[in-house]
Structure 1
Amino acid sequence: MNGDFDFLFGRWDVHNRWRPDLDDDGSWVEFATACEARPILGGLGNIDSFSFAGLPGRNPWEAGTVRLYDPSEDVWRIYWMSSSRPGRFDEPMEGRFADGVGTFYGPEEWEGRRVRARFRWTHGPGTAQWEQSLQLVDDGPWKANWTMDFRPAG
């Protein structure tokens, strides 16, 4: 059993910031989601679900994550799924926690091309933070394009 994601279990109100244009530092869109997370497979994995009411011009959606821990490799694999892309998981992100920070890497599609993505998880008492950054060219800078701040559901 691995307890790296135990901090995430429960119901959360999530404040999201998403940047649709990585060249415009001021173009963040903010919105709220609700999340619920729980362990599976006796602690070797966990699953969460998100619901989103939508923004003007955008439809509501649901999404979720399956995280599986491989003890033989000491690695987590994170699979994202969404109602906007039904019937499939995105390619997994892989990584681990070190000194309380989870860092995970994998492929992502951005504006029709494959780029590298990085997830970072941090947490404290009653809070959790997630950030996605993209690397658009090999060895280029990482550009944050989505953040989530988790607070216990009220």
Structure 2
Amino acid sequence: MPQKRILVVCMSLLALTASAVTGEAAPLPSTAQSVAADGQHDFDWEIGTWRSQVRVLANPLSEAPDEWLEFTGTTVVRPLMDRRANVVEFDVKGPTGRIEALNLRLYEPQADRWSLTFVNMRDGLLAPAVYGGFSDGVGEFYGDDQLDGRPIKVRFRIVRQGPDKARFEQAFSEDGGATWETNWIVVDRRI
């Protein structure tokens, strides 16, 4: 059922939830280094309202022929807690329906990384988080999830294409990250 697969893609996508991480955190950098190396302001450029053009692969990681569904709408990004967090309000519509979602992004200073957690407003469920950060203007975030009961890897990529344009892509892997299939593409333009 394409609607269910779209829901799974959407839930895994926009932000990929915040699951607990075990292990010891890296030590905090010295105060002098924190200001220069701290990633807590990595998303400052995105604060504001954006026009979103969305393409979603109807049946990711399947033998079905590729069918891309299209949606348009808005994305509003609001800062929280001195910009150490932000919330993304996502509302798009297309011929196959509407996607309303939230993405909660939290900066983890001990690990110098962000967690992105997606919430589908239709059912209120959190998707497993993806974790990562930015390097040379490209954000890459990785996590684990399930699709139709099978374990998959999730990659979420953000490419800033100037002050008023950005591209977001989600991809799934069913072979541990050896190969990836892109299933979600969003191009945002600042309004």
TM-score (structure 2 length as normaliser): 0.72
The structure richer in helix per residue is 2
Number of residue pairs aligned between Structure 1 and Structure 2: 150
The structure richer in strand per residue is 1
Q: Which residue among 103, 107, 118 is the counterpart of 1:65?
A: 103
Tell me the equivalent position of 1:4: 42
| 1:94 corresponds to 2:131 | yes
Residue 9 (structure 1) shift: 0.7
Distance 2:157 2:89 in 1: 18
Amino acid across the alignment from 2:149:
G
Residue 29 (structure 1) shift: 1.4
Q: How does 1:7-86 map to 2 (within 5 A)?
A: 7-22=45-60, 23=63, 26-56=66-96, 58=97, 60-86=98-124
Distance 2:146 2:49 in 1: 29
**CA 1:139–1:42 in 2, change beyond 3 Å: closer, same or farther?**
closer
Distance 2:76 2:177 in 1: 35
| 1:116 corresponds to 2:156 | no
Equivalent position SS for 2:126: coil
Amino acid across the alignment from 1:105:
Y
Using CA pairs under 8 Å that are at least 6 residues apart, name the structure with larger relative contact order, 1 or 2.
2
Query: Rg larger in 1 or in 2?
Result: 2
Amino acid across the alignment from 1:118:
R
Amino acid across the alignment from 1:53:
K
Distance 1:129 1:148 in 2: 6
- The CA deviation string for residues 96-136 of structure 1, in whole angstroms up to 9 with x for no partner, is 11111110001233233221100001112210110000001
Structure 1 segments unaligned to the other structure (5+ residues): none
- The CA deviation string for residues 55-88 of structure 1, in whole angstroms up to 9 with x for no partner, is 34x3x342010100011110101110012331x3
Residue 139 (structure 1) shift: 4.0
Equivalent position SS for 1:53: strand
Amino acid across the alignment from 1:39:
P
Distance 1:38 1:61 in 2: 19
| 1:106 corresponds to 2:143 | yes
Amino acid across the alignment from 1:106:
G
CA contact (8 A) 2:153 2:177 kept: no
